[in-house]
Structure 1
Amino acid sequence: MERRNEILQYIENRPGVTFRELARELGVGIGDLQYHLHRLEKEGKVFSRKIGKKRYIFPKGFKKEYEKLIIAISTETRRKILLLLMKGPKGQSEIAKRLRLSQPTVSYHMDELVKLRIVSARKEGKNVTYTLSYNPSVMARVIRDYRPSLWEKLADNLIDLLTSVGDKND
């Protein structure tokens, strides 16, 4: 029972944690974790969403409107893409160039973001332009509230960027 409470508390503190992350972070065996999650789901204390090959676990009462956003920001590449799109609509080739990613990698992640309805795609001839479907301030609030370590990392990246710009102007 103590182990189950530990699992529940972790999920409440990190909604949208993947099954594998949860097992790794808590040092719980796969079978043991499956058992406890099954019990927690049966008791109505948690629920999960399977997207692709990953299973994301949320505490009871988590806001449905934020589920997809939490899933989207759980991947570093997608986070970078979303941050870039916060500055305005971008084409696939511009995203690939700016983030130093291959076209197929960008295409894969954009397809996933479109499926999640975090991003919308508009085809113009051979080019596709992507636009953020979420209000950037909502995204920032969700990151700050549910992924504080990510928020700190983003703040550190911003400080590094501003410092490097300041050095070039001296």
Structure 2
Amino acid sequence: MERRDEILGTIQHEPGITFRGLARRLGLGIGDLQYHLRKLERDGEVFSRRVGRRRYLFPKGLEDEAQRLLIAISTDTRRRILLRLIEGPADQKTLSEYLGVSQPTVSYHMGELVKLGIIEAERRGKSVVYRLSYDPGLVVRMIRDYRPGLLERLADGLIDLLAGVGGGDD
């Protein structure tokens, strides 16, 4: 029961954690984690949602909109895409350059975000322009509240950049 409480506590603290991420975080074997999750799901304490090849875990009572956003911000690339789209609409080429990844990689992630209903895609001639379909404030709050490591890394990067700019005046 202690192990199950640890699993439940981790899911409540990190809603949207993936099955494999939870196994790594807690140092559990796959079979052991599956056993405890089956019990927690049967008792109605947690539920899972499969998207593609990943299984995301949520505590009971989390509404659908929050689930979709948590899935969307579960990867660094998608979080960065959403943060960029908060600034305004962008096409695939702009996002590719901003992220420093290939256009097919951007296309894959955009397809996943469109399926989740987080962004909208509008064809303009040969290009596709993407925009958030969620309130930008809600996206920022979800990232801040559930994936704080990203904002800390962004803040650290800004501090390093500013320190580098002002560092030569000593």
Please indicate, yes or no, whether the TM-score normalized by the shorter chain is above 0.5.
yes
What's the CA shift string for 1:54-92, capped at 9, x where partnerless?
A: 000000112321111111111111111111111111011
Letter in 2 for 1:10: T
Following TM superposition, by how much is the alpha carbon of 1:21 offset from its aligned partner in structure 2, in angstroms? 0.5
Separation (CA, whole Å) in 1 of partners of 2:37 and 2:134: 31
Of residues 35-44 and 144-153 in structure 1, the stretch that sits farther from structure 2 once superposed is: 144-153
Alignment of 1:1-170 (within 5 A): 1-161=1-161, 163=162, 166-167=165-166
TM-aligned CA distance change 1:165 to 1:96, over 3 Å:
farther
Following TM superposition, by how much is the alpha carbon of 1:165 offset from its aligned partner in structure 2, in angstroms? 8.5
Following TM superposition, by how much is the alpha carbon of 1:134 offset from its aligned partner in structure 2, in angstroms? 1.5
Separation (CA, whole Å) in 1 of partners of 2:160 and 2:2: 42
Following TM superposition, by how much is the alpha carbon of 1:112 offset from its aligned partner in structure 2, in angstroms? 0.6
SS in 1 for 2:62: coil
Letter in 1 for 2:41: E
SS in 2 for 1:47: strand
Following TM superposition, by how much is the alpha carbon of 1:167 offset from its aligned partner in structure 2, in angstroms? 4.2
What's the CA shift string for 1:17-37, capped at 9, x where partnerless?
A: 000000011011100100000
Separation (CA, whole Å) in 1 of partners of 2:163 and 2:81: 21
Separation (CA, whole Å) in 2 of partners of 1:47 and 1:154: 31
State the Cα RMSD in Å: 1.8
TM-score by length of 2: 0.92
Q: Which runs of 5+ in 2 are unaligned?
A: none
Following TM superposition, by how much is the alpha carbon of 1:137 offset from its aligned partner in structure 2, in angstroms? 1.1
Q: Which runs of 4+ in 1 moved over 4 A?
A: 164-168
Following TM superposition, by how much is the alpha carbon of 1:148 offset from its aligned partner in structure 2, in angstroms? 2.7
Q: Which runs of 5+ in 1 are unaligned?
A: none
SS in 1 for 2:157: helix
TM-aligned CA distance change 1:164 to 1:137, over 3 Å:
farther
Separation (CA, whole Å) in 2 of partners of 1:69 and 1:46: 17
Letter in 2 for 1:64: D
Of residues 71-80 and 43-52 in structure 1, the stretch that sits farther from structure 2 once superposed is: 71-80
Separation (CA, whole Å) in 1 of partners of 2:163 and 2:14: 32
Aligned length: 168
